[in-house]
Amino acid sequence: MLKITRKVEYALIALRHMQQSPNNSVSSASQIASKYGIPQHLLAKILQQMTRDGLIQAVKGPTGGYKIKADLKKISLKDFFEKLEGPLGLMDCYFNTDCLQMKACNILSPIQKINQNMRDMFSKTTLLEITQ
Amino acid sequence: MLKITRKVEYALIALRHMQQSPNNSVSSASQIASKYGIPQHLLAKILQQMTRDGLIQAVKGPTGGYKIKADLKKISLKDFFEKLEGPLGLMDCYFNTDCLQMKACNILSPIQKINQNMRDMFSKTTLLEITQ
DNA sequence: GTATATACGACAATTTTAATCGTATATAAA
DNA sequence: TTTATATACGATTAAAATTGTCGTATATAC
Ligand code: FES
Ligand code: FES
């Protein structure tokens, strides 16, 4: 539990790779995939999503690839996580309402506090801090 | 991602229930299960584990049940989580070594920092703060 | 034209989590 | 001493989430 997904892991690896790319030149999905041992097609899909999210920019065709588009110091880790995986919360009770199985849940408000702490923590960290 | 498990959720609910039990009288697994809509047998197993962990005390036989044994303000949320679910980490790379698929992982040290932040956060919170 | 790259959706495999089942033991109460 | 209720624990199954694959379309440098 309390794990990040491979998807986020791969996204971070790719971002950091691009960040270190000289002169912000493009890196192709297959270059990155083979360097870090990531399934090529899977990485491609993740990069495509990050493109839609405006984090990176795609260049099509041969010699194409991806490069960083957004200002990473303006994006919090929380926003990044939520772009990739949706709302951040320790439990699902806050997003879907079908947890009424718990007729009288007694831990909702305590968990809310922890939840807020976690969100605060990830809000204070920028993507740049991670990738540089 | 970054979710706690039902197991932990159920454990917290049960602990809080016991905490609120007058005079620290015992509560049976089935009482708690039916009150909060938790699968009985599943809750029982969790309570048994908490008993082995020294968090609560079991009383066998009819009129039996469980009551709190440990001093909850001396137990951090981190210790509690790790008792139930094992070592706490954002990724598995720190515990098992078969992530060498990543021939040249470039995010290990950045992730370590976030990891440490998370561990610190859960270390500073006591179980009592959650259950009371 | 051809090779290489992104784009995208459908599908399958794997792993993890959640829940169930069966049986044994302890003990309070009738 | 019998019975009902409760904990104890391992094996197994079911469900859900994650991870990975495949097929096809489109763009573009050479
Ligand atoms: S409401 Fe979902 S566990 Fe409390
Ligand atoms: S080592 Fe496992 S992802 Fe970097």
Q: List the domains of chain A with CATH numbers.
A: 1-132 (1.10.10.10)
Among A1, A5, A76, A123, most B C-beta atoms within 10 A, so best to mutate, is A1
Task: Verify whether the Cβ–Cβ distance B110 to A16 is below 8 Å.
Answer: yes
Q: Does B99 touch chain A (CB under 8 A)?
A: no
Write the secondary structure of B64-129 as one string of H (helix), E (strand) and C (coil): CEEEECCCHHHCEHHHHHHHHHCCCCCCHHHCCCCCCCCCCCCCHHHHHHHHHHHHHHHHHCEHHH
**Above 80 in pLDDT, residue B129?**
yes
The residue to mutate among B105, B109, B112, B113, having the most atoms of ligand 2 within 8 angstroms of its beta carbon, is B105
Distance between CA A46 and CA A8 in Å, rounded?
A: 9
What confidence tens digit (pLDDT) does each residue in B8-42 have? 999 999 999 999 999 999 999 999 999 999 999 99
The DSSP letter of residue B61 is S
Q: How far is the CA of A45 from the C1' of D24 (A)?
A: 15
Give A106 or A93, the one with higher predicted confidence.
Answer: A106
- Predicted TM-score (pTM) of the model is 0.94
What confidence tens digit (pLDDT) does each residue in A9-34 have? 999 999 999 999 999 999 999 999 99
The pLDDT value given to residue A94: 73
C21 nearest neighbour residue (CA to C1'): B41
Closest CA to B78 of B69, B89, B88, B70: B88
- Give the residue-averaged pLDDT of B42-46: 98
A95 lines ligand 1 (CB under 6 A): no
